[in-house]
Amino acid sequence: MRSPYCYIALDRILEMQKKYNVKMNLRPVWPIAIWDSEFFEGIKFMKYRVPYQDIDTARSAFFNDMPYAYPTPDPVKQEPNFGPVKPMEEQDLIKLLTRTAVAAEEMGKGWDYLNQVSRMMWNGTVVGWDKGTHLRDAIQRAGIDADALIDEVMNKNPEKYDALIEKNHKMQQGNLAGHTGVPNFVFNQEPFFGQDRMDQLLWRLKQYGLTERESSASDDR
């Protein structure tokens, strides 16, 4: 929910599932700033990483015809210039987003959720996505009862969804993927890390017999 590259890959993920006989399982995880708060430490490291990422995300979004602006506010509460990350008890925004994403996937509506919520946050049309009804409206557009979903993950059963997030994280770090970056696509335990590996993912799937859906094949004729 914090990764610009996940958003930049979104349209291609949705299109791949629409065009081909493939189902992609969504497994939301905490951002690296949450599970490894020391990742951003080190002025020399960040001196080069941040400026390049700013250029690359804007360029990649433009290349993929995705309107783009970094969310305001940042889903992860952190001191300016990628300073120290606030403690988990203060991370209400990323808890809300990641838990609701996991819960939506449990309902079979994970991609509908991302199609509305991630797009609302990242496409530059909303400033203050956490204010007013922006988030609730986006969840409703995904065909989910927003008030019930938020109440479920934040009040009734937060531990359940944190456990699911942790399960996804262990799968990501373990033998399933073996890579902690996102977006990370895994097929036959082979990871394809990054939005710029989706062509290779499709190539590999076709090697294993991936076919187009009948409606897509008909549309091409």
DSSP code at position 155: I
From residue 127, give the alpha-carbon distance in Å to each of 59, 74, 86.
21, 11, 22
What would the pLDDT profile of 27-46 be if each residue is shown by its tens digit? 999 998 898 877 766 555 56
Going by DSSP bridges, is the β-strand pair 184-187/190-193 parallel, antiparallel, or unpaired? antiparallel
Residue written as tokens 């606030």?
86
Q: CB under 8 Å, gap of 24 or more: what pairs does 213-216 form?
A: 213/18, 213/19, 213/20, 213/21, 216/18, 216/19, 216/20
Q: Which secondary structure element, helix H or strand E, spans residue 6, and what is its range? A: helix 4-19
Predicted TM-score (pTM) of the model is 0.91
CATH number for the region 4-215 comes to 3.40.30.10
Q: Which of 51-55, 164-168, 200-204 has the lowest mean pLDDT?
A: 51-55
Q: In this predicted structure, what is the pLDDT of residue 80?
A: 78
Element (H, E) at 191: strand 190-193
pLDDT band, residue 215 (cuts 50/70/90): confident
Domain range summary for the chain, segments of one domain joined by +: 4-215
Burial of 214 (0-12, 13-18, 19+ CB in 10 A): exposed
Amino acid residing at 83: G
CB 216 within 8 A of CB 20: yes
The per-residue pLDDT for range 96-151, each reduced to its tens digit, is 999 999 999 999 999 999 999 999 999 999 999 999 999 999 999 999 999 999 99
Using pLDDT thresholds of 50, 70 and 90, give the confidence band for residue 181. Answer: confident
Per-residue burial over 48-77, b = 16 or more CB atoms within 10 Å of its CB, e = otherwise: eeeeeeeeebeebbeebebebbebeeebbb
User: Which range (189-193, 195-199, 216-220) has the least confidence?
Assistant: 216-220
